[in-house]
Each structure stands twice: as structure tokens, then as C-alpha cells.
């Protein structure tokens, strides 16, 4: 999300890291995009639920948070890349791949950007200072090669959880998980239960055939006995899916 500020006739771009009550008028019809390797294109529906028209710009990047349509690097084409959306109207974005050698044995991840630029406020015509917000949504875009092994919906159930660290002073205990599948798995909730206590874990995304470690808040040493893990992941449709696992002593 970006903030465009006008005061005393000067425009200033700021990275919006503040908790400001900003509501986007243009709503994206999904929280993620999956591009099947055997598809010619995928579409994404946008809807302007605001009361005024907006200018919308869309592009794909390879992970650079500061990318713009002019310097973004990604093998995808979005059309239309720039368009006006009237209030109450819908618009479909069409996404195509460009010539590129994608990894054939696993998913690749990119980012779809949708930037909403509202019209100039009427206050500008009266010479009044104002704040104007340009809202950027960033959605994960997964390129999924055809013929990958296994079911992507089952990937979270195949995660392998284990204890890591905690053996030496200053070495904090952490959860380590391994993803043996060719699919990205996004964790949005991790809770560990052991010794009558509950520990909240960090959340993150584990790459295909990758691994990561997650800290557990309040855990200073490993408790005896079995540790139960309750977690939530996100499926292809953006819905939360619950899962459970156990880690032995």
C-alpha cells in the first residue's frame, strides 16, 4: 500500500507502514493466483465497490516490494495493464506467460500487483490541503507446472515437523519443518501444546522441497513428552485449512 500526500502544493510519496483506516474501493476477487502450466491464460476479477471511479494499474514482479511497471522483472503479461474503473463496475485481468524456462519439478512464485489510484479530491479545486491514498494490493502468483507429483491440497499433511535447537545455553528451541512436496505451503497459524501449556509459533511460507524454522513465543526449553502441533494453511482458493501433527520427545 502506498500513500500519496499533497500539502502546500508539494506531492510526496511515502511507504504506508502506518495503521491508517484506508479502505480500497477496488476489490480483488482472490487472495492468490495459481497459473497451471498447461493453461494459455488465467483471469482475475476486479470490482470497484467505491463511490467514485479509479485508475487501476496491474503488473507482475519476481518479489521486489519496490517494483514498478517500468522496472518489474517477471515472465508474465497482464492485460489491460492500465485502465479506468467506474464505480460499481467489474473488470477482468487476463494474465499470460511470456517465453521463459520455468522450473519443471516444482512451483515458482511471483507477485501480482494491483494499484488503485483514486481521482483527485474535490478539495484540490478549492486549494485545500488533503491526503490522497494510492492503494496497492500484492497477491502471490504461483506458476504450477503440469504433471507435478501429488495433490497440492494434501501438501500441508505431508509436512514433517521436528524439534530443533535448545541443546545449548542461548540456543533457543524452535520448530523445524520440512516440505517434501513440489508445492508452496503458507502457514497462517501455528500453535504448540505441551506440558499443559500453549505456545504460539511464528508463521511463514515453506518453499517446495525446502525447510524453515519457527520460533515459539515463551518456550525456553523443550518440555518432556509429546508435543502436539495445530496449524492452519491457505489453499488455492484462499481459504484457511486446519491441520495437526505430533512431535515425539
User: Length of the chain in residues, anyone?
Assistant: 249
DSSP-derived 3-state class of residue 117: strand
CB 177 within 8 A of CB 160: yes
DSSP state for residue 201 in the 8-state scheme = B
Q: Residue 213 CA to chain centroid, in angstroms?
A: 19
DSSP state for residue 71 in the 8-state scheme = T
pLDDT, one tens digit per residue, over 181-237 is: 999 999 999 999 998 999 999 999 999 999 999 999 999 888 889 999 999 999 999
pLDDT, one tens digit per residue, over 33-83 is: 999 999 999 999 999 998 889 999 999 999 999 999 999 999 999 999 999
Query: What are the C-alpha distances in Å from 195 to residues 3, 131, 227?
Result: 47, 52, 8
Pairing of strands 82-85, 76-79: unpaired
Q: Domains of the chain (ranges plus CATH)?
A: 22-144 (2.60.40.10), 152-247 (2.60.40.10)
H or E segment to which residue 83 belongs = strand 82-85
Is the pLDDT at 3 greater than 70? The verdict is no
169 or 216, greater pLDDT: 216
Closest CA to 148 of 188, 108, 118, 111: 108
pTM, 2 dp: 0.85
CB 130 within 8 A of CB 156: no
DSSP state for residue 216 in the 8-state scheme = B
Alpha helix ranges (H) inside 90-212: 122-125
Amino acid at each position: 500500500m502506498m500513500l500519496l500526500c499533497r500539502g502546500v502544493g508539494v506531492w510526496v510519496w511515502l511507504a504506508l507502514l502506518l495503521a491508517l483506516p484506508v479502505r480500497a474501493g477496488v476489490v480483488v476477487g482472490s487472495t492468490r493466483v495459481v497459473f497451471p502450466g498447461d493453461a494459455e491464460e488465467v483471469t482475475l476479477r476486479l470490482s470497484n465497490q467505491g463511490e467514485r471511479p479509479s485508475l487501476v494499474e496491474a503488473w507482475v514482479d519476481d518479489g521486489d516490494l519496490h517494483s514498478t511497471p517500468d522496472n518489474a522483472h517477471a515472465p508474465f503479461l497482464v492485460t489491460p495493464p492500465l485502465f479506468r474503473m467506474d464505480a460499481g463496475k467489474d473488470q477482468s485481468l487476463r494474465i499470460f506467460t511470456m517465453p521463459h524456462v520455468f522450473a519443471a519439478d516444482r512451483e515458482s512464485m511471483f507477485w501480482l500487483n494491483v494499484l488503485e489510484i483514486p481521482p483527485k479530491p474535490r478539495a484540490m479545486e478549492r486549494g485545500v490541503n488533503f491526503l490522497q491514498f494510492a492503494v496497492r494490493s500484492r497477491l502471490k502468483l504461483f506458476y504450477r507446472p503440469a504433471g507435478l507429483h501429488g495433490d497440492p491440497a494434501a501438501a500441508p499433511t505431508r509436512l514433517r515437523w521436528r524439534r530443533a535447537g535448545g541443546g545449548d545455553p542461548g540456543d533457543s528451541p524452535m520448530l523445524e519443518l520440512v516440505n517434501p512436496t513440489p508445492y508452496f505451503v503458507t502457514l497462517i497459524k501455528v500453535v504448540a501444546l505441551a506440558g499443559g501449556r500453549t505456545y504460539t509459533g511464528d508463521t511463514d511460507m515453506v518453499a517446495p522441497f525446502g525447510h524453515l524454522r519457527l520460533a515459539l513465543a515463551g518456550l525456553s526449553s523443550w518440555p518432556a513428552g509429546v508435543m502436539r502441533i495445530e496449524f492452519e494453511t491457505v489453499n488455492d482458493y484462499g481459504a484457511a485449512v486446519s491441520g495437526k501433527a505430533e512431535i515425539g520427545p
